[in-house]
């Protein structure tokens, strides 16, 4: 039962990873690319780590998976927020289809 | 014209997935799980995502695109390490994943501080 549930979680994580990286390639702008890829890749990797925890159980690698999930949920939004803020301060242009810019009025 | 481009891209993605499913893959297996072939193909899917990130690193119009590609690559490595620790049964792959995530986080913060200029700390 744990094996099947873990494999389902791992497949869901792989699908989310693939969609996030496709958004990193396809979208037109830095802000759109990070908005697509950060959430999808973080959630997909957390799903893969949860599936690994369910398959392996509370062994050494499983406890390290819990540690990696906690670390990833703290660091990844911080890094992307700092990157977006720095890109906005460095005057990187938005795409042509953008309607409003609320940050710089 | 636009629909033909979509069809060509969709065919390219389908061929890549058939290559992922039928390509040979040699990893030493110490555990016997029922869905282990699927986890081995999952490593190929994450490698394809890493190729997308490297494409964005090489052909980014601005420098923030390159930093974003490196950040996503650093997150994807943790997934590869988790799948390897399942399929080979060794626990120190997760050590590699945690150390890689920490190094990627610190390097991303350093690059953003370089990009944002002097008054980033306020």
- Where exactly are the structural domains of chain A? 2-89
Q: Do A85 and B112 touch (CB under 8 A)?
A: yes
Check if the interface score ipTM surpasses 0.90: no
Place of tokens 């490593």: B43
Chain A: residue nearest B51 by CA?
A21
Q: CA-nearest residue of chain A to B83?
A: A52
User: What pLDDT is stored for residue B60 in this prediction?
Assistant: 76
The mean predicted confidence, pLDDT, of chain A is 88
Closest CA to A71 of B12, B74, B119, B28: B74
Q: Hunting for tokens 């350093």 — which residue is that?
A: B110
Torsion of CA A53, A55, A56, A57, to 10 degrees: 70
User: Chain B: residue nearest A34 by CA?
Assistant: B68
Question: What pLDDT score was predicted for residue A50?
Answer: 92
The pLDDT value given to residue B23: 67
- The verdict on a CB contact (< 8 Å) between B93 and A68 is no
Asked if A14 and B46 count as a contact pair (C-beta separation under 8 A), the reply is: yes
Tell me if A13 and B101 make a contact (CB, 8 A cut-off).
no
| Res A13: pLDDT | 92
Reported confidence tier of residue B113, pLDDT bands at 50, 70, 90: confident
Q: What is the pLDDT of residue A45?
A: 92
Chain B contact set for A10 (CB, 8 A): 38-39, 42, 83
Q: What is the pTM of this model?
A: 0.84
The shortest C-alpha distance from A64 to chain B (Å) reads 6
């Amino acid at each position: 039962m744990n094996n099947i549930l873990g494999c389902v979680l791992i497949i869901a994580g792989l699908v989310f990873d693939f969609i996030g990286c496709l958004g990193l390639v396809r979208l037109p702008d830095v802000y759109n690319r990070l908005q697509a890829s950060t959430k999808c890749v973080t959630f997909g990797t957390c799903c893969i780590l949860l599936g690994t925890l369910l398959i392996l159980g509370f062994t050494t690698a499983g406890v390290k998976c819990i540690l990696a999930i906690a670390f990833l949920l703290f660091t990844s939004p911080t890094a992307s927020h700092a990157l977006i803020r720095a890109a906005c301060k460095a005057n990187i242009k938005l795409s042509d289809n953008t309607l409003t810019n609320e940050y710089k009025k | 014209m636009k629909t033909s481009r979509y069809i060509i891209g969709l065919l390219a993605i389908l061929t890549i997935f058939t290559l992922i499913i039928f390509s040979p893959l040699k990893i030493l297996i110490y555990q016997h799980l029922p869905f282990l072939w699927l986890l081995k193909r999952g490593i190929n899917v994450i490698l394809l995502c890493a190729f997308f990130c490297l494409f964005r690193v090489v052909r980014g119009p601005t420098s923030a695109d390159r930093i974003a590609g490196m950040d996503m690559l650093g997150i994807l490595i943790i997934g590869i390490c988790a799948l390897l620790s399942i399929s080979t049964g060794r626990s120190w792959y997760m050590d590699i994943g945690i150390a890689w995530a920490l190094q990627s986080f610190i390097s991303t913060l350093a690059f953003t501080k370089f990009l944002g200029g002097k008054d980033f700390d306020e």
